[in-house]
A and B are shown apart, each in its own frame.
Chain A
Amino acid sequence: MKKKLLATLLVATLAIASLAGCGKKSADGSGSPADTGSKNNATTETKAEGDLSFNITVWVPELAVDLTKSQIEAFNASNPDGINFTATVEAVSEADSATTMITDVESGADIFFFAQDQAARLIQSGGLSKLGIQAAESVSAANAAGVVSACMSGEDMYAYPLTADNGYFMYYDKSVVPEADIDSLEAIIADCEAAGRTFCMETDTSAWYIASFFFGTGCVSDWETDEDGAFISVNDTFNSDKGLIAAKGLYKLQTSPIHVSSSQGSEFDAAVPAAVVVTGTWDYNTVSDILGENMGVADLPCFAVDGASYHMGSYNGCKLLGVKPQSDAARSASLHKLAQYLVSEEAQMDRFNELAWGPANLNAQASDAVQANPGLAALLEQAPYSIPQGQIHGSWWDIAKVIGTDVGESDGSDEGLKAALQKYEDTISALFNMTSDEKEAMSVIGALCGTSWDTDFPMTRSAEIGAFYYSDVLELKAGDEFKCRMGASWDVNFGADGALDGPNVVVEEDGFYVIKLAVNDDKTEGIITLEKNSYVNGWTVIGVVAGSNWDADFEMAVQDDGTTYKSVDTFDMTAGTEFKVRQGHNWDVSYGDGTENFVVEADGTYTVVFDSTTGTITLE
């Protein structure tokens, strides 16, 4: 017994030792290009200048792994710049990739496929790198507008369009639902009931499908993001008269005994088989295997409420390709080239041919093969009623999915349905009031800096003194008017006399100002003071430059080192042009060539560079 045990332990120790060895080896070996499993961030450091070989990780859904591998190899063989990727392609579904990416961006894949509703989250967490202007232009031109809009946040483009097929339509069993009935929800439900078959639409657990009814009656849920991917506002009309009509339609389906909340194509093979399943192209093969000849695909039907008929709407979503931000510029540029290759017309057609993914590329969409695909054709039929899925707040899916059950459990009366919608609206509006920081933030608004009471200039809360706020340096003109308000609303606002809802503050003299605001504890009094300020950094160029003659200051921006300043504009200067650099818009401190004016020696376009520690000026 003893010997046996000792032997076992020894073997185990050996096993551990060898395993530990394995781990170490592959971690150390990451510098060698042959080691495909190695970590990408370690490799860049040991690279010789100009060498464009990279180890990268790519996340694509399992079905697309082989195709993507061969596409990357084709890119290696075809690109003229000598870029060579050694890619580890991992099977990660689009649904998972963003979540994993956000957990640890550093370890995440360099290129990954994701569903568009994840874009905002990814941008916010720094998981997506911006496209260059040229790339953005060419990609936008080649792909469908709806998909391109899903790639944008603010004015910037953050992702590449991959597919335009992430929408849903109706699969039905022709032997149960006759062709004549497929346009009417009521007729279909009656057919299903008569045949004892089910109608499957995932309206209990998925906002994606519930929205169908609301879009059908013309409701909208538009979310707006800023360039950082943060949500700033929503225009949501689900809780309205139109919304009530939609809720009535939804109630009809939810309370029908044959309704099953599911979106799986395999429902056609369930114990009580379905006659209708609302799902997307990904179930096409499954459904056609099950139903064979009897398979029908069509756009969604219409539902009738109070005599009027409404065509059910849908979300028209897409899949996108993202590139992770990189620290190495060459690597980043090469990855973006690969990304462009992967979303090119040919690559999208390859994916259509092998995986039946509906392309986003306009030329590919127009091709005969794509037009002939029944699933995509049904999507196309549904297209006029579908809403391009823009950026949607991540919480919306959870908030809106309860509408289904709430409506189903209500008594069906107007009041009951309205209550469900009111509950939804309350939760949505709470999203934007959630953070007390935002609610309490003060801002300056008025007719200033070229705006006209439509833009809030943020104020910073002073860390030392509680309710004391100051704005950035603003360039104000005499006659400008403004007020300070809280939480970008007029509920709490202060003006000239320090009282709530006081008169506008009027600026008396042109200049650069910091607006300061001291608010008392119960927020009934706020004293606004204007403090004159020179430029933030103080240093300006003045002289016979840019058409001025010692009468205008041109701003200089501080550089990363904190001591070097560069002129913001570039100047066309001829030999003999004179200027100086001065501080604070006055002549107390100024530098030229020593104390004399700086004289330009040769014609040219220059940026003025000033070293504030030595007082020397150079031209670039």
Chain B
Amino acid sequence: MMSGENIIFYLLAAMILGSGLLAVTTRHIFRAAIFLLFSLIGIAGMYFWLQYEFIAAVQIVVYVGGITVLIIFSIFLTQQAGEKLPEQKIGRQIFAALAAFCGLALIMLQIFKHQFIATNQLALEPTVVNIGNNMLGVGEGGYALPFEVVSILLLAALIGCIVIAIRSKPQTI
């Protein structure tokens, strides 16, 4: 018996994992960026499914609208159009797949062995009001200090990007 909710969950899971796998295996770099885009959209859909609407909106704005566009622009700036990536050694691919699979098996074994215990306290709804009150709160559960630190970090990253990527003038004699 499958309800609509379950069907949507499994569709989202297939979208996330399928396009994620294609993003790391395809040899066209532009297609890899598009598959990454679909994987990120699937994760945003998963946040909607979990009813964390604010974080889903943040995911779409920052990842889908920002980082993917940035990656596509950098592909245009650095790659020759229509050029395939060089083929990797088959030994390296086998080793990487084996290492990833062993890690996956280990972690999944630990997760399914572990018994998670949920808290029995009252739920705090992830509404925008609650998020805002906690984000700028200075008391218990407040995140004002990390908020300020992250703003400084973003400013530093902004300046650093400009300094690194600026084209230095050729030396004139």
**Are A and B interaction partners?**
no
